[in-house]
A = this chain, B = another copy of it.
Amino acid sequence: MSFADHIRACNNYERGRVVPLVAGGRRIGRLRRDNAAALSRFARVFAVEPERVRLVAAGDADTVSAAVDEVVEALVVERQVPKWRNETFDVMARWGEPPLFRLDRGAVPFFGVRAYGVHLNGYRFDGGRLHLWIGRRAPDKRIAPDKLDNIVAGGIGNGHGVVATLYKEAEEEGGIPAALVERAQPVGAVSYLMETELGIRDDVLFVYDLELPADFTPKNSDGEIVHFELMPADEVVERVRATDDFKFNVNLVILDFAMRHGLIPVDDPEYLDVATGLCRPLD
């Protein structure tokens, strides 16, 4: 294992394997060719062309969402999509624009729609040594069960903003009160483009750092994290390098933290792989 292995795993996307999903002439997703072909039966919603798929369902966000959802239901029956039923993501060409429709979270990789999340690095200095609060994901999580995670991480559901998601997840996942969360600093984003069994993950993670006081201990209340541990940050970084213990994208968030906090020396043979590998330019 190496730092670059984790970066490569999250960036295994190959352009030739997908066609764009377009709406109004702009790309809103990336469909693996087998997924694109599976949409040809739904001609009232999608027009499948050789080198692209067009969203043809028209109307306001509610109308288009309902039309797309009928397609998703059919794909769920065929077990091509694992529907979550409790969370939808907004779909738009660019962050900040009004959503064209809402999509069940389980169907997001099928359509290769860009998904946004928030990750918080919770840290503190203990005896002058930088430490990170690390959580262990519950064994019943759909994605990456039992893997290690940031103290707070979550997807940005429809209608929620970055900051609202940060506060909500900080409280539910880590028991961090709002008075502490407001000290969190936005420090950038991690982005990657990854093919999985289900399709394409085009993910953008808004990253925050928060220095936590010595008397704070995180406490999970939504059942998503079973255990928290305060680990020396340099040991976290070496564990990222040597193992697959962390959730795939958490490796990248921790490497970003490590880079920004001077934990990776310039003579590390992977220094430039890490420094230039964590924020794939959005196109």
Contacts and interface: CB of A to CB of B under 8 A. Distances in A.
B281 A277 contact: yes
Contacts of A191: 275-276
Nearest 4 CB-CB pairings of A with B: A185-B262, A189-B275, A188-B275, A276-B279
Interface in A76-98: 95-96
Contacts of A277: 279, 281
Contacts of A186: 262, 264-266, 271
Nearest to A281: B276
Kindly report how many copies of this chain are found in the complex they form together. Answer: 2
Nearest to A162: B266
B163 A261 contact: no
23 contacts: A11-B281, A95-B272, A163-B267, A185-B262, A186-B264, A186-B266, A186-B271, A187-B261, A187-B262, A188-B260, A188-B275, A189-B271, A189-B272, A189-B275, A189-B276, A191-B275, A191-B276, A204-B272, A275-B279, A276-B281, A276-B282, A277-B281, A278-B279
A261 B188 contact: no
Interface of A: 11, 95-96, 161-163, 185-189, 191, 204, 206, 209, 259-262, 264-267, 269, 271-273, 275-282
A162 B267 CA distance: 8
Contacts of A259: 187-188
Contacts of A162: 266-267
A143 to B, nearest CB: 23
Contacts of A260: 187-188, 260
Contacts of A276: 189, 191, 204, 279-282
Nearest to A277: B281
Nearest to A184: B262
Contacts of A269: 96
Given A162-B267, A206-B275, 9 more contacts: A161-B267, A162-B266, A185-B261, A187-B260, A189-B272, A209-B262, A260-B260, A272-B282, A276-B280
A203 to B, nearest CB: 11
Nearest to A11: B281
A252 to B, nearest CB: 13
Contacts of A206: 266, 275
